[in-house]
Amino acid sequence: MTGTNPEDGQSLDAVPEAIEVSFTATPLAMGSEIQIKDAAGMNWAEGGVEIDGNMAVQPVNPAAPAGEYTVTWRVVSSDSHPIDGSFSFTATEGAGASSSPNPEPAGAESSQPEQAAPESATPEQPQTDAAQAATGEGDAGVPLSFMIVLALLVIALSVVVAVVVRRRRLESDET
């Protein structure tokens, strides 16, 4: 890893639209995961990790509130080794407050007018890890198809071992 945006320990005016983790080489998309958890353990990551050149980019739920966040990430390097890490940042306003993770210079005014969200709109709340596990949502990092194939291989190997052991017992009983 060569860097993160936001940087570890950085204090921001607002939660960024996305978290970026950069690397010296392009990471593989398969198995990539970035979680953005607030102090209560809610994961505010939205959608999957996007690989953009040498960066892994994780969009943030636009309803993410102000507060302290811990980002944990895991990717598979270009040479197929898993690498992971974590960092934290703090935001004084929620995600919808600003479109940039960098504060504006003093006295600078935004060229875009602020728009209030309709009162009837309720943003989708992220699920806790327990809720994701209960509903089968979320990514544990290992595809279900791989686990099924692995289980079948273990069963087949067990059958082969049992047959070999039985044959050896029968052969030893005959002698």
CA–CA separation, 10 and 93 (whole Å): 14
Q: Per the confidence metrics, is the pTM higher than 0.75?
A: no
Paired strand residues for 14: 93
Geometric angle at alpha carbon 37, from 86 and 15, rounded to 5°: 95
pLDDT in tens, the chain (175 residues): 899 999 999 999 999 999 999 999 999 988 899 999 999 999 999 999 999 999 999 999 999 999 999 999 999 988 888 999 999 999 998 876 544 444 333 333 434 434 444 343 444 445 555 444 444 444 445 577 777 888 899 999 999 999 999 999 888 888 7
Amino acid of residue 92? T
Strands 82-93, 50-52: parallel, antiparallel or unpaired by DSSP? unpaired
